[in-house]
Chain A
Amino acid sequence: MTEPHPLPHLQVRGLNGWYGESHVLHGVDIDVHEGETVTLLGRNGAGKTSTLRAITGLLKKREGVIKLKGRDLIGLPTYQAARAGIAYVPEERGIFAGLSVAENLTLPPKVAEGGMSVAEIYRLFPNLEERRNSQGTKLSGGEQQMLAMARVLRNGARLLLLDEPTEGLAPVIVQRIGEVLRTLKASGMTILLVEQNFRFARKVADRFYVMEHGRVVDHLTAAEVPDRLASLQTQLGV
């Protein structure tokens, strides 16, 4: 067998997932290579969030193969999967109301060496430093998204799972998030991004997977996008 790439950073094969009795993921295959930014596209309810949750173990009822640098994650509880080197930025940001901005920021424990220091993070997100003592949920939507991203940059994980970071945000903030992603990418971070905002995703991603009804129905590289734009638009309903 010839494998065109070296061992992927994240390898998902035949992933199935259930919420109780309802079967929502049907054999999802995804590869994300070291340093790559890959975007999962798909309409509402396609199973993008569920895929990320299955990778982290938050979706407990799952089957298939999930390998992080060759290490199988399927049998692990969520916290051990995280410690294997996953940084997770959930849908709707998940800022804790009972914690200050600074506490939110420093909450995730280090899982590996090499994360950013708090000072570096504040340099990247200056408004967080100004508001570090306010309650986490008192921040604006954009600031909360920054905080949600900043939060996982400390912990040293090299795989970043980002779920719709631009949702509901003003264009300037979206642009700012794009800059941050490019900075992270330049630093060698591997990124699996869930996005419905295709225009945004296009600016940062190397490759795309399109999901529908809990399956991956299409796959393309950034170079292929211009030729495939029309079919993509029907698939995504944009």
Chain B
Amino acid sequence: MSIATSTPLKTANDALGIGHLVGRALIVLALLALIAAPLAVYPVFLIKILCFALFAAAFNLLVGYVGLLSFGHAAFFGGAAYITAHTVKEWGFTPELGILAGVAFAATLGLVMGFLAIRRQGIYFAMVTLALSQMVYFVFLQAPFTHSEDGIQSVPQGLLFGIIDLSKPLPLYYTVLGAFLLGMVLIWRVVNSPFGNILAAIRENEPRAISLGYEVNRYKLAAFVISAALAGLAGAVKAIAFQLASLVDVTWQMSGEVILMTLLGGIGTLLGPVVGAALVTAMEHYFAATSIPAPVLIGGCFVACVMLFRRGIVGEIRHRLKARSSR
């Protein structure tokens, strides 16, 4: 019986997901498209997608490249949003300082949560992160500065570095794009560094990595903190962009949503989370007008992905390309 055996969530090794010339060309094209996008699409919508794309990419760094499924990433995303919103609105921080504060908070929280969670493996890791993030949720719910159900509203956007006026849609869009690209490049660098190779080794075979003398838990923790900080960056930017930090962003439903984005796009691919985030955001947007409730939609996507489509969109494309080139 194979019940007790487990296959790794992802087996392909190509970190970028697209190693070829085609891939490079695609990236350049995508960049150009992102730069030109506000001409065609409402910037606010694009900003939302970029924030979630970065969030999902940060989450994917952990699940896709270290094999750790965190079910608590909303704590970093929504937590950073609260800190940024509060420091900017109440303490008069500039946007860049506010974002920095949010990221620092997320990284610190990541250090604490990660330290506890990596003490358990596999499925327990998911349960522990979920429970810890629920604790964070309750803390935010009760802390006076978050204004519980109302959230922190009308966060002033201000001038980035004293010059860029973030209250205008286009400067705001390009600022968010900048943050997104910064995050993506960082992830790419991490994945393709010696550090990333050790993470991959841990994912493929943890006992072997231990026997090779790696302090596996340190590497896991470092990856967890980086992932948390980047999720925090996404949340902090979102708070500035939408002038709002609210409870929704720290709920377990949000942690679930980012899992779905990554799963749908392709776990362990660089671009998968971006594609998944765009799709889920768009889907929610269009289905909002119908009578289908969002949780039903999200839940249905989960079921469909898990049953029929475990590689995700980008993962599937990559698999097909590989199968063809190996023929």
Q: Looking at the assembled complex, report how far the CB atom of B232 sits from the nearest CB atom of chain A, in whole angstroms.
A: 40
**Closest A residue, CB atoms, query B2:** A60
**Complex contacts, B2 vs chain A, CB 8 Å:** 60
Interface string of B1-14 (1 = CB under 8 A from A): 11000000000000
Interface size (B, Cβ < 8 Å)?
Answer: 2
Q: Is A58 an interface residue (CB 8 A)?
A: yes
**Closest B residue, CB atoms, query A58:** B1
Chain A contact-residue range equals under 10
- State A75–B50 Cα separation when bound (angstroms): 52
Q: Which of A70-115 contact B (CB under 8 A)?
A: 78
- State A58–B2 Cα separation when bound (angstroms): 9
**Complex contacts, A78 vs chain B, CB 8 Å:** 1
**Complex contacts, A60 vs chain B, CB 8 Å:** 2
**Complex contacts, B1 vs chain A, CB 8 Å:** 58, 78
Q: Which of A21-75 contact B (CB under 8 A)?
A: 58, 60
- State A60–B1 Cα separation when bound (angstroms): 8
**Closest B residue, CB atoms, query A78:** B1
Q: Which of B1-60 contact A (CB under 8 A)?
A: 1-2
**Complex contacts, A58 vs chain B, CB 8 Å:** 1
**Closest A residue, CB atoms, query B7:** A20
- State A58–B1 Cα separation when bound (angstroms): 6
Q: Looking at the assembled complex, report how far the CB atom of B60 sits from the nearest CB atom of chain A, in whole angstroms.
A: 27
Q: Looking at the assembled complex, report how far the CB atom of B2 sits from the nearest CB atom of chain A, in whole angstroms.
A: 8
- State A60–B3 Cα separation when bound (angstroms): 13
**Closest B residue, CB atoms, query A60:** B2
- State A202–B84 Cα separation when bound (angstroms): 80
Q: Looking at the assembled complex, report how far the CB atom of A217 sits from the nearest CB atom of chain B, in whole angstroms.
A: 30
- State A156–B1 Cα separation when bound (angstroms): 24
- State A78–B2 Cα separation when bound (angstroms): 13
- State A78–B3 Cα separation when bound (angstroms): 14
- State A58–B5 Cα separation when bound (angstroms): 14
- State A24–B1 Cα separation when bound (angstroms): 17
- State A78–B1 Cα separation when bound (angstroms): 9
**Closest B residue, CB atoms, query A20:** B7
Q: Looking at the assembled complex, report how far the CB atom of B189 sits from the nearest CB atom of chain A, in whole angstroms.
A: 34
Q: Looking at the assembled complex, report how far the CB atom of B205 sits from the nearest CB atom of chain A, in whole angstroms.
A: 16
Q: Looking at the assembled complex, report how far the CB atom of A52 sits from the nearest CB atom of chain B, in whole angstroms.
A: 15
Q: Looking at the assembled complex, report how far the CB atom of A110 sits from the nearest CB atom of chain B, in whole angstroms.
A: 22
- State A58–B4 Cα separation when bound (angstroms): 13
- State A118–B319 Cα separation when bound (angstroms): 56
Give 3 A-B contacts (CB < 8 Å), ordered by A residue: A58-B1, A60-B2, A78-B1
Residues of B within 8 A of A (CB): 1-2
In the A-B complex, the 3 residue pairs with the closest CB atoms: A58-B1, A60-B2, A78-B1
